[in-house]
Amino acid sequence: MKYRRILLKLSGEALQNREKGLSIDPEILASISRQFKELIKEGAEIAVVVGGGNIFRGLAGEKGGTDRTTGDSMGMLATCINALALQSALENAGVETRVQTAISMPAVAEPFIRRKAMRHLEKGRVVIFGAGTGNPYFTTDSAAALRASEINADVLMKATKVDGIYTADPVVDPNAVRYDKVSYAEALNKQLKIMDAAAFSLCMENDIPIVVFNFFKDGEILRVFRGEDAGTQVSH
């Protein structure tokens, strides 16, 4: 086992099924629950930061006439909708969970309390962090980097649609190869787009490795967790 405590960053789009016109697809949630159960069986402590892009993004609100901070509040609330949906699916699958939000809403979830979050993880509960950082002008990538640092996560796993970071765009260049490992410095030099700059520098400063992996390949998260040849790890 390579890691124990993981912080998984799931974008809102990871829950979405455009073909079926669903913002949140119950089948995707069920598949996530199955994979989490396997991870837990192998000893993982799982914390999740969910995005909200499947429902609302602050910038989109700006274009529609909502001011940025209000739009960002709407985006943060959207992440809470996703957090509750994920919680529900996990609990249905028999996984104990807690949702903690950065914007207080005690009627639906716990507020974010670091020590409590750590205690839940130690007890084997999946902790889902909603409402991002609780501040406008940030992203859930930054929230993921922040929470990973706060809970002393061994790794930040960034769920994507691609197998990892490539030397070139694999769609355009047939000779492109996937990096197994890249250093933070190399990622910066080569301007590899992994997370937004604030999130990336927080991970680098706090020495949290980032693994970019294909969330849609069945079993891939387990392979990353075991330290097998999957995804790309960014570290010192």
Q: Which residues make up the interface to ligand UDP (CB under 6 A)?
A: 11-13, 51-53, 57-58, 71-72, 75-76, 78-79, 132-133, 135-136, 138-140, 142-143
CB of 137 to ligand UDP, least distance (A): 6
Amino acid sitting at position 97: T
72 is known to lie in a ligand binding site: yes
Cβ proximity to ligand UDP, 35 vs 142, nearer residue: 142
CB of 77 to ligand UDP, least distance (A): 8
232 is known to lie in a ligand binding site: no
User: Residue 149 in contact with residue 12, Cβ under 8 Å?
Assistant: no
**Rounded Cα–Cα distance for residues 147 and 156 (Å):** 10
- Using CA atoms, how far residue 108 sits from 29, 66, 81, 102, 125, in Å, is 20, 26, 10, 12, 17
Dump strand ranges (E) for 165-226: 181-183, 210-214
Cβ proximity to ligand UDP, 71 vs 231, nearer residue: 71
Cβ proximity to ligand UDP, 1 vs 113, nearer residue: 113
Bridging pattern class, strands 97-101 and 210-214? unpaired
**Rounded Cα–Cα distance for residues 75 and 69 (Å):** 10
Cβ proximity to ligand UDP, 7 vs 76, nearer residue: 76
Residues comprising the binding site? 9-12, 52-53, 57, 72, 133-140, 160, 166, 169
Residues comprising the binding site for ATP? 9-12, 53, 57, 160, 166, 169
